[in-house]
Amino acid sequence: MSLEKVLSSLCYFSTFFAPFIFPIIVFFVVKENVTKYHAKRAFLSHLAPFLSILLIVGAGAISAWLNHNIETSGVIIVTCFLLSGILNLIVLIWNVVQGIKILTNE
């Protein structure tokens, strides 16, 4: 197994230990284009859940602020949190699948 494959795979698996830092370090330190490509993809995939949380929770907060019914506002906020959680789970599974795919390709 080559070092490039291990580093590329670790960029995806870094969602468990250093989601933003590890892919950035690998991107700037490694010289191979394939590993840089995977580091950039991993960084963007780690960034997606953070942005989704901001967008979905922000949309829920604005909707709750504009809506004066407490019950409807609560439903909107809970729905936004559930959507954010589902999206984060999908991105987590995608990162694990990509990391395994890189390791198993010979």
CA distance to 6, 104, 106, per residue, from 2 (Å): 7, 12, 10
What is the residue-averaged pLDDT of the chain?
86
Q: What is the pLDDT of residues 40-49, one digit of tens each?
A: 999 999 998 8
Q: Tell me what pLDDT residue 37 has.
A: 94
Q: Are 57 and 84 in contact (CB under 8 A)?
A: yes
- What value does the mean pLDDT take over residues 13-17? 91
- Distance CA(19)–CA(23), nearest Å, equals 7
Q: Give the residue extent of every domain in the chain.
A: 3-104
Q: Of the candidates 56, 58, 55, which has an alpha carbon nearest to the alpha carbon of residue 81?
A: 56
- What value does the mean pLDDT take over residues 37-61? 86
Q: Tell me what pLDDT residue 23 has.
A: 93
pLDDT at 106 over 70: no
Q: Are 86 and 53 in contact (CB under 8 A)?
A: no
| pLDDT band for position 18 (cuts 50, 70, 90) | confident
Q: What is the pLDDT of residues 63-101, one digit of tens each?
A: 777 777 777 777 777 888 888 889 889 999 999 999 999
Kindly report the number of other CB atoms within 10 A of residue 80's CB atom.
20
